[in-house]
Amino acid sequence: MQTSRANRTSFSARLQTHQRRAPLQSCCSAAACTNEGQKPKIVGLGSVGLDYLAQVAAFPKPDEKLRTKQMETRGGGNCANALTAAARLGLEPHLVSKVGADSIGEEIEQELLSDGVQTSFLLKATDHPSPFTYIIVDKQGGTRTCIHTPGASYAPEDLDQNTIVRILSHAQLVYFDGRLTESAVVLARAARERGIPVLVEAERLRPTLEVLLQEADYVCTSAHFPQQWTGEASLGDALHTTLQRLPNIKWLVTTLGKNGSVLLERCPDQAGQTEVVLSKLLGTLLEEVSASKSSSNGNSSSCALGCTSNNKTYIRAGRVKSSDQAVKLLLQRSPGDSPEATAAAAQAASAEASANADPSNAASYSTRSGESAVLDGPLVAKMTVASAASLPQEAIEDTTGAGDAFIGTILYAVTQGMPHDKMLKLAAVVAACKCTALGARPGLPYAQDISPELLNA
């Protein structure tokens, strides 16, 4: 076994390899370019940092000493990772965030620029270090454990009117990763005033995230967020309540890990005639997708669509099933207020605040009276479920940043007007490809690595 020092790759060597592999000018596909070859501009406000990744054979026990199998230093942060994924697919992302005026901040910026992520709005704080995260990657268990040290916050005062105008000029979409929520709300409202769509990520409970969600046109959540936020016992009821609380959003996507993802698209009330319990419909579509994926065995033409990873692993696109038409979605539990759900949501908010070293601010992590409107009447929507992409178990190196890769692909798909079924397929493929390398970004594919039929709208 080699030591971590022997396995550590210098930033300059990684940058040279990266530039040899895929010159920036070749990253823009025909589908992703606008008139005169201009790439669509998107904006992201959120986290950026440096990740110190230690891959180990198995997660250490308390007081145990062990050696790393591999050690890497890579750029990280949800927003920066998602924008990198979008850049490699052919967009022109602009990051709005803050790092320290130190060598780590310089390394963070140079890696972003090498991938085509614009940093004109990346501020450098002279009185704070750059943010960084220690990540333990458990090869045997397939998990990663993160210990984050934050840097200076991007504050609302950093967003004067002139800066907002420059940030949003010609932007086609604005993305928020759920952090820096006070500043995010300011920029989101400015985007909405200008008719620019807003996509918000809800990975976990965060202070005043609920206010930001009310400004969203599109929302992407982690598997556990809907139940944490609503306190509902079942995922189906949690998705129902989440969509009801956010009357302005067009659709909600929730990732389900190895089970794929689910999308709920809001439809006009008069469009749905058939009533169905959301939990039952979700279960049925998940079973159909799983059965369809198992029976294909890679023989159908759709299975040819996919992506080739940097280590030459071919990742096949998964399957998609939908409700075909809008339906009236019902709760599994009885309608009306649920004291149990309210108590569970409050408990989740308190636990999240404590985990974030912010226990005195627990109230801002939970649903507050008046902040979340709940629509009266039926919830009419169309459901689409997609399986995960097909990736051999032995090809999985690290799942760090898989959700960021998924969301970065969603950003690309929205700017292209991509159909929802194709969007979920592509996002699953890009997320799986990311998992073939250590770190959040090295495994991200470029446009030329992906089947054109899958990439193009």
Which tens digit of pLDDT belongs to each residue from 183-210? 999 999 999 999 999 999 999 999 999 9
Lowest mean pLDDT among 76-80, 164-168, 234-238, 266-270: 266-270
- What is the rounded distance in angstroms from the CA atom of residue 300 to the CA atom of residue 282? 25
The reported pLDDT for the residue numbered 70 is 87
Residues 88 and 399: their CA atoms lie apart, in Å, by 19
Q: Is the pLDDT of residue 298 over 80?
A: no
Query: Residue 175: which of 58, 235, 97 has the closest Cα?
Result: 97
Return the ∠ at Cα 237 (arms to 233 and 240), rounded to 5°: 150
- What pLDDT is recorded for position 18? 44
Position 53: which residue type?
Answer: L
> pLDDT, tens digit, for every residue of 63-83?
998 888 888 889 999 999 999
Q: Which of 248-252, 293-297, 335-339, 433-437 has the lowest mean pLDDT?
A: 293-297
d(CA 254, CA 261): 6
Whether 369 and 337 have beta carbons less than 8 Å apart is answered as: no
